[in-house]
């Protein structure tokens, strides 16, 4: 455990759709928590905007654990990631990532352009050994038990071996973030029988069955199983994951709009809502995921977290807490060891199979 030294989290304060004030409120909330002792935050962004906030009375008692790093540019949500990282060297996101690269910070959090963050993380921080590309994980709400979906967009066309590594990454993150000691890991496909799915899914399925000493692999899963508390980690390629995530977000928004419209249609229904207030609050609480903060970009040499562009101060607070825990509990080293052991086992198994079939 790294409790004997201060953990530093670099926060891109300019990437949020809600503006830097909401991000800084999340920073203030985190620094006020009891478990924030031993954690410092570097707010990265325009000094002319962030300076007065940092120097305000509400931040004065955190002066020893809060600092400002100036960055004069912002990568917009609609900008090309490739163009942005080439032409906006002084962007707040780029500067935050650079702080991690130089060792001035231990982890980075941003609400900004996802593609740019993935590109910066991959190019500057670099993937771990035996990992070619990182995977973006997301906690998906469900009534009985939330689950982690990865990849949700970092790598649209992974190889079978990359899917296997993503399963290990997801299992580790689930154990840390959700407190599940032995997460159930499933590989998303169009059927649960052997031979179903794309070629990469079939090969990954066969390899995952060989490494049950490393993860609790439960096999292939279909879409209708995701919300029935059968798996804790769902592995898929970034294309399917991104489409699935956005479809679920769209459905959630439609249902929220529909229920709001129907429940407030007339005075009698509004009166009925008063009696259902407790039940509605319980449902909302079960479906909240902001306590998990942002989505981790798993597989890089340093922790990188992507918070939703519309994350409120509570989500920012929890995202910083998760990033700090990731560093404190030495999850990076544990991940490296598991990846190396799985790679060694699978390579040996493959060589043995080749020799037996010569």
Is the domain of 12 the same as that of 75?
Answer: yes
Distances (CA, A) of 100 to 48, 97, 265, 290, 320: 23, 5, 52, 24, 14
Is the domain of 9 the same as that of 113?
Answer: yes
Asked if residue 346 belongs to a domain, the reply is no
CATH code at 7? 3.40.718.10
Rounded-to-integer distance, Cα 117 and Cα 21, Å: 21
Q: What are phi and psi of 137, to 5 degrees?
A: -100, 150
Distances (CA, A) of 182 to 175, 208, 218: 7, 15, 11
Give me the residue label for tokens 């999850």.
331
Confidence of residue 251 (pLDDT cuts 50, 70, 90): confident
Is the domain of 308 the same as that of 253?
Answer: no
Q: Over the stretch 113-135, which tens digit does the pLDDT of each residue have?
A: 999 999 999 999 999 988 989 99
pLDDT of the residue at 92: 96
Q: Over the stretch 303-345, which tens digit does the pLDDT of each residue have?
A: 999 998 888 899 999 999 999 988 888 777 888 888 888 888 8
Distances (CA, A) of 164 to 146, 158, 172, 222, 298: 22, 10, 13, 18, 13
How many domains in the chain? 2
Residue 9 sits in which domain range? 1-131+299-329
Asked if residue 356 belongs to a domain, the reply is no
Is the domain of 146 the same as that of 112?
Answer: no
Q: Model pTM?
A: 0.85
Is the domain of 314 the same as that of 219?
Answer: no
Give me the residue label for tokens 């000493």.
213
Confidence of residue 1 (pLDDT cuts 50, 70, 90): very low
């Amino acid at each position: 455990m790294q409790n004997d030294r201060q953990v530093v989290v670099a926060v891109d304060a300019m990437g949020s759709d809600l503006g830097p004030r909401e991000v800084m409120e999340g920073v203030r909330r985190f620094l006020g928590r009891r478990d924030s002792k031993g954690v410092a935050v570097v707010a990265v962004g325009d000094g002319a905007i962030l300076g007065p906030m940092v120097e305000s009375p509400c931040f004065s008692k955190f002066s020893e654990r809060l600092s400002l790093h100036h960055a004069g540019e912002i990568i917009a949500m609609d900008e090309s990631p490739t163009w942005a990282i080439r032409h906006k060297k002084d962007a707040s996101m780029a500067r935050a990532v650079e702080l991690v690269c130089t060792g001035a910070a231990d982890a980075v959090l941003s609400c900004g352009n996802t593609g740019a963050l993935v590109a910066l993380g991959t190019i500057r921080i670099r993937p771990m050994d035996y990992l070619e590309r990182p995977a973006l994980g997301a906690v998906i709400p469900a009534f009985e038990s939330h689950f982690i979906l990865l990849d949700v967009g970092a790598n649209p066309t992974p190889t079978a071996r990359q899917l296997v590594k993503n399963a290990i990454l997801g299992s580790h993150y689930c154990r840390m973030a959700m407190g599940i000691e032995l997460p159930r890991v499933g590989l998303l496909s169009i059927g649960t029988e052997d031979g179903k799915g794309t070629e990469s899914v079939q090969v990954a399925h066969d390899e995952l069955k060989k490494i049950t000493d490393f993860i609790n692999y439960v096999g292939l899963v279909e879409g209708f199983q995701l919300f029935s508390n059968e798996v804790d980690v769902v592995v898929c390629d970034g294309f399917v994951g991104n489409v699935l995530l956005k479809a679920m977000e769209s459905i959630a928004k439609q249902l929220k709009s529909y229920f709001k419209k129907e429940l407030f249609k007339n005075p009698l229904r509004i009166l009925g809502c008063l009696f259902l207030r407790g039940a509605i609050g319980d449902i909302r609480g079960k479906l909240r995921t902001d306590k998990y903060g942002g989505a981790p970009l798993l597989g890089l040499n340093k922790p990188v977290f992507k918070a939703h562009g519309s994350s409120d101060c509570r989500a920012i607070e929890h995202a910083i807490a998760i990033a700090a825990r990731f560093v404190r509990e030495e999850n990076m080293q544990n991940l490296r060891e598991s990846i190396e052991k799985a790679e060694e086992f699978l390579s040996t198994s493959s060589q043995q199979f080749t020799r037996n079939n010569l």
